[in-house]
Amino acid sequence: MPANKNAMTRYKILDELLSSRYHNYSLDDLTEEVSNRLADMYPDTNGVVRRTIEKDIYYLEYEGPFMVDIERYSVPGYSKEKQKSYMKQCLRYAQPSFSIFKKEMTSDEEYLLSEALSLLGQFDGLPNLDALEGLRLGLGINKSERQIISFTKNPLENSNLLGELFTAASQKQVVEIHYHKFSSPEQELVVNLHPYLLKEYNRRWYLFAAAEDDEKMLCFGLDRIDKVVPLPSHKYGRINDIFLHFISFPILLF
């Protein structure tokens, strides 16, 4: 086992990254992501190098107690710096939802999950609700007998949009959106975005996001969005204070 005080922390970070099905991580991507997260947790750290991550992955596969099955695969990638496409070599767990740190849920955690399911079930279009309902039944968690919290529903013509954008924002995934302006509904426009926040205001839903090409902050009404296409090979930008300042003021809507 590598003699490093941050080794177990790196394994936990790698475990989360390798189990994701919303991103295509290359070895360089894994190195950068682990370095960034370690820097957030330990500001005095110098980060990690590619060779360290290579050794960590080898340990997880062959030397440690985990003996995990890691899949190597290729996908089309895109370099923003070089402005060109290429074939990207990626890694992930061969088995979806696998984790080396799984544990049994406590009764308190089961209760919190049940309450969360009750709240989330009121939003049309949120992702994986069928899977969560199956989880509730599998755990033997009973539904609440009556509704305690109620939200005003804002139906969308395409109710799946809310779920797709929720997944993209929560999983930090770049997306390509197809949308139209109110003044020219027949003209389809396309832009790549880094989605940050979904916000309801005056009975309408809005998406706050950064444009991929120039990082300009934008806001789109969901009723103007026609289609969302995930771009798992594109690198997601980190949220910053500029964004937090941006959403506090009136903005230009699309």
47-82 pLDDT, tens digit each: 899 999 999 999 999 987 888 999 999 998 877 777
* Block residue for tokens 């390798």: 18
Distance CA 200, CA 207 (A): 9
> What per-residue confidence (pLDDT) applies to 1?
39
Question: Would you say 206 and 198 are in contact if contact means Cβ atoms under 8 Å apart?
Answer: yes
Question: Would you say 193 and 229 are in contact if contact means Cβ atoms under 8 Å apart?
Answer: no
Helix pair 50-58, 27-41: axis angle to 10 deg: 100
186 phi, psi to nearest 5 deg: -80, -20
Q: Which residues contact 178 (CB under 8 A, 6 or more apart)?
A: 188, 189, 190, 225, 226, 227, 228, 229
Distance CA 143, CA 22 (A): 30
> What per-residue confidence (pLDDT) applies to 160?
76
Among 192, 191, 178, which residue's Cα sits nearest to residue 233? 192
Note the pLDDT tens digit of each residue in 127-167: 555 565 665 565 565 665 566 666 666 666 566 788 889 88
Residue, of 249 and 138, whose pLDDT is higher: 138
Three-class SS state of 105: coil
Domains of the chain: 7-93 (1.10.10), 103-153 (no CATH), 160-246 (2.30.30)
175 phi, psi to nearest 5 deg: -135, 155
Three-class SS state of 78: strand
Cβ atoms within 10 Å of 6's Cβ, excluding its own: 16
> Which pTM value belongs to this model?
0.65
Q: Give the H/E segment covering residue 41.
A: helix 27-41
Note the pLDDT tens digit of each residue in 108-130: 766 676 667 666 655 555 555 55
Cβ atoms within 10 Å of 217's Cβ, excluding its own: 17
The percent of residues above 90 in pLDDT, for the chain, comes to 36
61 phi, psi to nearest 5 deg: -80, -40
